[in-house]
Amino acid sequence: MEFHVEAGPKTRRYIESLLPSMMSQLGLTRKRPLLMIKVDRELEEQGTTIPLLGLDTYLVVLKPTRDILNLGITLAHELTHVAQFANGTLQVTPKGKKWRGKFYPMDYPYLDQPWEQDAFAKQELVFRRAIIS
């Protein structure tokens, strides 16, 4: 998977240094879509992942922070969502999301969403493996 990072120079270098390992761990290196990562001060949450299916692209938006540990863990969390979308495990529908074929409405509680539980379970391990590789 090809990637492009839009951020300040130090943050961009940091993200780019983590991406090869994280993408390898999550099975994204041989996927076809483009991965775009943007660091945006306007983002309210820590991070979000948006599949742009018509463009064959995944957009990951991260909130900037001076806490590079938190930024790396958030990146690992959002890349887990990219892997979920890329593998078809997670799908967006007009009224909610599908996880492994089961429908979840838009208002399903955040911490009960199985794709979030999966991302939280993996994020720290993916990050730690990336910083030691």
- Of 121, 120, 95, whose CA–CA distance to 106 is shortest? 95
Residue 100: pLDDT band (50, 70, 90) is very high
What number of CA atoms fall less than 13 Å from residue 70's CA on the CB side? 9
Q: What is the pLDDT of residues 43-78, one digit of tens each?
A: 999 999 999 988 999 999 999 999 999 999 999 999
Return the axis-axis angle of helices 68-86 and 9-25, rounded to nearest 10°. 40
- Of 26, 9, 117, 131, whose CA–CA distance to 69 is shortest? 131
Residue 84: pLDDT band (50, 70, 90) is very high
Tally of domains in the chain: 1
Q: Kindly state the tokens that stand for 104.
A: 């979840």
Range of the domain at 61: 2-132
Q: Kindly state the tokens that stand for 5.
A: 């990072």
Residue 28 has what pLDDT? 95
State the chain's mean pLDDT as an integer. Answer: 96
Say whether pLDDT at 97 is over 90.
yes
